[in-house]
Structure 1
Amino acid sequence: MNPTFFAPDWCGLAWTDFVRLPMQKTTTRTIPNGAGVYRVRVVGRNELAYIGQTGRNLNERLRGLGSGLYASDMPYNDPHTAAPKLWSYRDGEGFEFEASATESTLPKNDRMGLECWLVWRYRQEKCRSTLCNFGRLHPRYITSRNRTTGQRGRKLNPDEPDNTGGTSVAPLARQGTAESRDWMGLAWSAPLTLDKINAKSVPRGPGVYRLSNGTHGIIYIGQSLNLSSRLRTHADTDWSGLTAFAFASMPESYTETQLLEVENDLIAGYFEEFRAAPLFQFGATTPAEPASDETASG
C-alpha cells in the first residue's frame, strides 16, 4: 500500500505531481510560482527526504534546490539549507529525488506552522523524521556552512565517528489542549510568571517550554539543552505584557536535534488545534529572536 504522504491530497492539500530534481524545461511548469510548501521524496523508496516552505516562489525554490544536486562539491548551506543534506545522500547512497508542491496563502508565521504540522504528520505515519529535516544529513558526512565562510562539507574519513544528532524520537500524540498540564502527552510544570527568579528555579537540563499571556494564550514554544539559562534570557525580553512560562523536562541523553523534533511536534499540535502558529513563533514581530525563514524542522 502506498504511503499517504505521497498522495495528491495529503493532509487535505492539493499537491502537484512529483517532478524529478533537478527540474527540466518539460517539467518546470508543473510547480507553481506562488508561496507554499513542498515535499521531496527519494526515488524508489517509501520515504520523504525533506519538507519545506517558501514565501516567495515555489518554482524558483525547487529549481535552486535541484541545481546543485549533481555538483562535484557539496553545496553551501545558503540559500537552501536542505541542499547540502540532500547532496550527501546523493553522493553517499546514489539517491535521486523528486519534488511536489502546493500553494498556500497563509501569512508567514502560519505557513511555517503548516510546515511543522506536515513534518509531524509524516513523523506520525513513518514513526521517524524525514532524512534531512532538523539539520540531519548522511551520517558519514559533515555539512557545508554558509557561502561567506568558504567552508564546504565533505565525506568523513574512515577514522572519524558518524555525524548524527541521534535517532528520531517518537512523535508526540495529540492530547489535552495547548495550556493543559498533559498537553501532547508531556508532563508540564505549573505556569509561573516569567522572571529571572522563577527561571533560576528551573532545572538546567534539556527540555521544552511554552510562553503564554492572558490575551493570546500560548505565544511561543521553544527548546533548550539548558532550560534555566534559556528562560533567564527570555526574562530580559519585553513580551508585550505579563508573561508566564511552563516547561517539560526531557531525558538528559537528548541531543539538540531530538529537542527540535519535540519542539516541532508541539508547534504542530498547536497548529492542529488553532490552525495557526503561536503569535511570536516565526514572524517578524517575534521579540525572542530575529525573524527567520527556518522552522524548528530546518
Structure 2
Amino acid sequence: MSKLNSPCLLLSKIEWSEWNSLEIDSFSEVPKEPGLYRVRHRTENRDHLEYIGESGDTRRRIQSLARGAYADEMPYRDPHTAAPCLWAVQDNVGSALDVSYTTPPKAEDDQHRKGIEAALIALHRREANCSPTANFGRIIDGYKQSSYSQSDPAYRGGPLASGEDEPNSASGVQPPDWQNWREPLARDWMHLEWSEPYRLAERLNADPPDTGVYRIWYEGQDSTLAYIGESSNISSRLYNHEQTFGGDALFAYAERSDLDASHKRKEIETDCIGAYYLEVGKAPLAQFGHTENIPP
C-alpha cells in the first residue's frame, strides 16, 4: 500500500471525490459548500501531496487555485497563497496536477474544518515525512516567491536568476515521532520537551526561549487545551495572550533549536494541533480565532 493510500493519512471516515485534473475549464461539479481539498502531481516519483487546503466555498477556492497555478506568469500570493508554489511546480515538473475534495458535515463549522485540515497535514507529514509542497507559504527550489498584491513594493516571483536565493525554499523540519500523542498535557507530548506549567501572570518567571511552540490551558479542565501556538518571541506572545486568556491560565513551552524559520515553527504547531484534533475530536478552545469559547 502506498503512503498516499494509507487509511491513516486519508482519515478513512472522510469520503473524498475522485481525482480530477486541476487544469480544466469548469469546476461546476465541485460543490460550493464548505469543505477540504488536496492536490497531487501525477509524476510517479512524487509520493507526497502538493497541497492540502480548506474553504467555506470549496468550488470557488479550487477555481482560484487553478487560475493561479496555470496563469501565464507566477501569480501573487493572493487570492490564493498556494498558487505561486503550484505555478512553480507545474512550470518545473509538468502540468499534471490533480485535485480531490470532500465536504463532510463537520466542515460547515469553521473551527472544525480548520482542525480537520491540521489533522490531514499532520498525518501527511507523519506518513510522507514531509509537508505538502505548497503549505506553510513555501516555494520550491529554483524559484522566488511572489509577494501579496498589496505589499509595498508588490512583485511577482518566478525562476531565480543566477546567484539569487529564496529563504522560503528552505527545507522544513521532520515531524515528531508522535510519542505520547494522546496526552496533550504530558511533559513529553509529541516527543517535545515541554517546560513545567506556569500561569500567564507569572510568565516573567518562566524565562521562555525566544523561539518555539507553546500550549495554554485552564486548571481543572482535564486534557482540554485552550490554544496551541508558535513564535519567534514567545515572551511577547504570552504577554498578549494574558490579555486574552487571563492571568490564571496555564502555559508550557517547548524549545527546538531547528525552528529558525516561520514555516518550520508552523509545521510543528500544525503537528500538535492535528494530533490534538485526532485525539479530542475538536480543536483547542480558542484556536483559529475562536476566543468566544474561552470560559468566563
TM-score over 0.5 (shorter chain): yes
Q: Distance in 1 between matches of 2:63 and 2:112?
A: 24
Q: Deviations over 1:118-176 (max 9, x none)?
A: 00111111111111111111122222222233422232211112434532322221515
Q: In the TM superposition, what is the alpha-carbon distance from 1:256 to its structure 2 partner? A: 2.0
Q: Distance in 1 between matches of 2:227 and 2:257?
A: 22
| Equivalent pair of 1:239/1:287 in contact (CA under 8 Å) | no
| Equivalent pair of 1:200/1:232 in contact (CA under 8 Å) | no
Q: Deviations over 1:242-286 (max 9, x none)?
A: 311111111156322111111000001110111111111114436
* 3-state SS in 1 of match to 2:248: coil
| Equivalent pair of 2:140/2:169 in contact (CA under 8 Å) | no
Runs of 4+ off more than 4 Å: none
Task: Confirm whether residue 206 of structure 1 aligns to residue 208 of structure 2.
Answer: no
Q: Distance in 2 between matches of 1:247 and 1:21?
A: 41
Give ranges in structure 2 of 5+ residues lacking alignment.
none
One-letter amino acid of the structure 1 residue matched with residue 218 of structure 2: N
From 240, 244, 253, the equivalent of 1:238 is: 244
Deviates more, 1:255-264 or 1:88-97: 88-97
Q: In the TM superposition, what is the alpha-carbon distance from 1:95 to its structure 2 partner? A: 4.3
Q: In the TM superposition, what is the alpha-carbon distance from 1:181 to its structure 2 partner? A: 1.2
Task: Confirm whether residue 154 of structure 1 aligns to residue 153 of structure 2.
Answer: no
| Equivalence for 1:223 | 230
Q: Distance in 1 between matches of 2:265 and 2:114?
A: 18
* 3-state SS in 2 of match to 1:282: helix
| Equivalent pair of 1:123/1:171 in contact (CA under 8 Å) | yes
* 3-state SS in 2 of match to 1:270: helix
- In the superposition, relative to structure 1, how do residues 190 and 200 fare at CA in structure 2: closer, same or farther (>3 Å)? closer
Percent identity, aligned pairs only, is 34
Give ranges in structure 1 of 5+ residues lacking alignment.
289-298
- In the superposition, relative to structure 1, how do residues 6 and 76 fare at CA in structure 2: closer, same or farther (>3 Å)? farther
Higher helix share: 2
Q: Deviations over 1:80-134 (max 9, x none)?
A: 1111111122223334310000003321112101101000111111111111111
| Equivalence for 1:14 | 15
RMSD, aligned α-carbons = 2.4
One-letter amino acid of the structure 2 residue matched with residue 94 of structure 1: G
Q: In the TM superposition, what is the alpha-carbon distance from 1:29 to its structure 2 partner? A: 4.4
| Equivalent pair of 2:130/2:172 in contact (CA under 8 Å) | yes
- In the superposition, relative to structure 1, how do residues 140 and 200 fare at CA in structure 2: closer, same or farther (>3 Å)? farther
- In the superposition, relative to structure 1, how do residues 255 and 115 fare at CA in structure 2: closer, same or farther (>3 Å)? same
**Number of residues paired by the alignment?**
282
In the superposition, the TM-score normalised over structure 1's length comes to 0.86
Q: In the TM superposition, what is the alpha-carbon distance from 1:228 to its structure 2 partner? A: 2.2
Q: Distance in 1 between matches of 2:95 and 2:205?
A: 48
- In the superposition, relative to structure 1, how do residues 274 and 21 fare at CA in structure 2: closer, same or farther (>3 Å)? same
| Equivalence for 2:119 | 117
